[in-house]
Structure 1
Amino acid sequence: MGKKYVESAKLIDKGTLYEPSEAIELVLKTSKAKFDETIELALKLGVDPRHADQQVRGAVVLPHGTGKKVKVLVFAKGAKVKEAQEAGADYVGAQEYVDKIQKENWFDFDVVVATPDMMGVVGRLGRVLGPKGLMPNPKSGTVTFDVAKAIEEIKAGKVEYRVDKTSIVHVPIGKKSFESQKLLDNFHTLMEAVVKAKPSASKGQYLKSVVISSTMGPGIKINSTKVLD
């Protein structure tokens, strides 16, 4: 552990479950890196992701965005190409981008959007996009004919959340440079979406733990019973 990390850890009581606002103030105080660190949530859920009826996945537009400039790749054809370009897509095309990704290992993008009629082409990239969490999906709004709306939402701060094999959801809610109130607004918006996404097959306690941290800082536990207060 680095000296700054150790100093930051001293400010946190590991046995305390903090109120969301307190935790956010603490995470900003313990972010000591020289770059603009990302503030991220790690949510441990009471679901078994091995079962299809206990998957938790969706997307939500954070009111203040994530602070990151997002590059969008759109797979489209015909009139949808111009629509995507006018909406601000960084890259728009079809087979040429499949080839570029497969042959050049090119990944200069953060989100992939595809029109439904392009999924046959995009499907060839499943093995490389899937493990990176980049495969377009109707549940996250990235498989749609309304490409302009999808791009605008992504650029405005739309984030995707998805439970992993260990039943944890990792989602960024902003940057160290954000005001604490903006981080709190983003926090509540995300938590509301994840709580609403609770599968009916999930029994018992749904929110097992909520931890907030910066890129280089220690984790701070949030009282999960207070997340929507």
Structure 2
Amino acid sequence: MAKKGKRLAEAAKLFDRSATYTVNETVRIVKEAATAKFDETVEAAICLGVDPKKADQNIRGAVVLPHGTGKSKRVLVFAKGEKAKEAEAAGADFVGDDDLVAKIQQGWFDFDVVVATPDMMGTVGKIGRLLGPKGLMPNPKTGTVTFEVEKAVNEIKAGKIEFRVDKAGIIHAPIGKASFSQEQLEENLNTLLEILIKMKPSAAKGIYMKNITVSSTMGPGVHVNTATIQ
């Protein structure tokens, strides 16, 4: 713990914790503060002026980051016939139907994202109580329930991330690795912010983007000046 405290203390010297910065400045500081011996993940925490308890303000979606996340995702696809062949050709890691259901019921979860064709949702529903708590249940809003299997797999492999506002109105999302270039992290963050702005519910009143914080795995949070975004 002492070692982590020393690292954070050194990182804190790089900026004013009470100040806010442009996206460019924020990314630069976060990269400089990422001094761990591994390639730290860079994450954005965006506090929105919405009420998640209301269905029309419960923001959920997905976006393809232009430079990916730096992590290869294992994709499982529930499909049959030609759609199963399409998934395999697209590079899905696991493809099947009842056989995969049986494996998951036995405790197997060696995958990161689940895609299903609409006709397979009855089968997937059998393990909904297992997939749901882990955030793995396919959903049309995130493009994971679709007959366009090839497109879905390609987008996920290319860096598609899913996001959902939590009970506190905050969206947490990875935007890359500390080893990414300044430009790559900026573009990923701006892409995420742009899609969230477009998704602003008409029922949301007052300030929409209340707070944006970017940090690396072991680094301090740096606040973005929301006025430069909106």
TM-score by length of 1: 0.96
**CA distance in structure 2 between the aligned counterparts of 1:202 and 1:9, rounded to whole angstroms:** 35
**Which residue of the partner structure matches residue 70 of structure 2?**
67
**Which residue of the partner structure matches residue 86 of structure 1?**
89
Deviation readout 1:3-34 (Å, 9 max, x if unpaired): 21221123231110111000000000000111
**CA distance in structure 2 between the aligned counterparts of 1:125 and 1:198, rounded to whole angstroms:** 32
Deviation readout 1:138-167 (Å, 9 max, x if unpaired): 011000001000001111111111101111
**CA distance in structure 2 between the aligned counterparts of 1:9 and 1:100, rounded to whole angstroms:** 47
List alignment gaps of at least 5 residues for structure 1.
none
**Which residue of the partner structure matches residue 98 of structure 2?**
95
RMSD: 1.1
**CA distance in structure 2 between the aligned counterparts of 1:132 and 1:13, rounded to whole angstroms:** 37
**CA distance in structure 2 between the aligned counterparts of 1:190 and 1:123, rounded to whole angstroms:** 30
**Which residue of the partner structure matches residue 160 of structure 1?**
162
1:88, distance to aligned residue in structure 2 (A): 0.3
- Name the SS of the counterpart of 2:134 in structure 1: coil
Asked whether 1:226 is paired with 2:201, we answer: no
Matching residue's letter, 1:110 = D
Aligned residue runs from structure 1 range 1-229, under 5 A:
2=4, 3-103=6-106, 105-227=107-229
1:60, distance to aligned residue in structure 2 (A): 1.0
1:128, distance to aligned residue in structure 2 (A): 2.1
1:227, distance to aligned residue in structure 2 (A): 2.5
1:83, distance to aligned residue in structure 2 (A): 0.5
TM-score by length of 2: 0.96
1:200, distance to aligned residue in structure 2 (A): 1.2
1:171, distance to aligned residue in structure 2 (A): 0.6
Q: Percent identity?
A: 61
Matching residue's letter, 2:70 = G
**CA distance in structure 2 between the aligned counterparts of 1:57 and 1:25, rounded to whole angstroms:** 29
1:99, distance to aligned residue in structure 2 (A): 1.6
1:225, distance to aligned residue in structure 2 (A): 1.6
Matching residue's letter, 1:65 = G
- Name the SS of the counterpart of 1:130 in structure 2: helix
Matching residue's letter, 1:16 = A
**CA distance in structure 1 between the aligned counterparts of 2:151 and 2:227, rounded to whole angstroms:** 34
Matching residue's letter, 2:174 = P
Please identify runs of 4+ aligned residues in structure 1 that moved more than 6 A. Answer: none
**CA distance in structure 1 between the aligned counterparts of 2:224 and 2:111, rounded to whole angstroms:** 32
List alignment gaps of at least 5 residues for structure 2.
none
Deviation readout 1:64-95 (Å, 9 max, x if unpaired): 11111111000011111110000000000111
Matching residue's letter, 1:199 = P
- Name the SS of the counterpart of 2:45 in structure 1: strand
